[in-house]
Amino acid sequence: MDDIYAIIPVSKFNDAKTRLSPFLSSDERENLLKVMLKDVASILKKYVDKVIIISGDSDVLDYGKELGLVTIVEEENSNLNLAIKQAMKWAKNKVSKIIIIPSDIPLIAKSDIHTLINHGKSQDFIIAPARGGGTNALIIKPLAIEMMYGEDSFRKHVAEAIANNLPPLVYDSFFLSLDVNITEDIGEILLHDENSNTKNYLKSLNISVKPIHGLQRLKVSR
């Protein structure tokens, strides 16, 4: 039995990141999701036994195969929690632990993910919060708890862990907490990233960022 697999649930490329419209066009948003997924998967492949993509979008699955990832076709009439549960059922008798990671955390390389995954091999519940109360990394045994992704998922996942006698270990990381939803998140990538596919793509779009004083911390423009 392998030690740990990564599961990355991915929605349709053409539905990607609508909150970034009109700053980015539909094609630009799709390409952004692709380069972020490439960055996340390439980092995880260094530290886990397999990286699994689950999606109902054939374009996503084809791209996952191009990246050398295991692909699972999401069942019809599913949702995020059911898709992750489906992937965990597939992995249950193959691996000891799984780490669930979204596709849109391009600063993962700066988050000491290696240490997090190593801790996960001996700890039964590790969670990394997202900004706004979500969950951006979760390490558990397959099917150990019910999936609670959605609003306030960090608190709900911790409550699930406690209810199942799993002492929760919180891994609080700025770099893991940053998922890309608004233009200011793009600015954070340009400020903090070094030489990722994501940063290089954003630079190719002539996007610039500068810190400001005001309600928004960064001014992102092109």
Q: What does the pLDDT look like over 120-173, one tens digit per residue?
A: 988 999 999 999 899 999 999 999 999 999 999 999 999 999 999 999 999 999
> Which domains occur in the chain, in start order?
2-179 (3.90.550.10)
pLDDT of residue 15: 80
Predicted confidence at residue 199, as pLDDT, reads: 96
Give φ, ψ of 22 to 5 degrees: -95, 10
Cut 0.75: pTM above it: yes
- pLDDT score of 212 more than 90: no
The dihedral through the CA atoms of 39, 89, 114, 70 has a sign that is negative
Instruction: Give the contacts of 178 (CB within 8 A, at least 6 positions apart).
Output: 105, 106, 107, 131, 185, 188, 189
Determine the average pLDDT of the residues in 91-100: 96
pLDDT tens digits along 17-26:
899 999 999 9
> How far is 133 from 152, CA to CA, in rounded Å?
5
Letter for the amino acid at 196?
S
- What's the pLDDT at 2? 84
Percentage of the chain lying above the pLDDT 90 cut: 87
Q: What is the CA radius of gyration of the chain?
A: 17
pLDDT digits (tens, 9 = 90+) for 107-119: 999 999 999 999 9
Residue 102 has pLDDT above 90, yes or no: yes
Q: Which one, of 122, 10, 132, lies nearest residue 65 by Cα?
A: 10
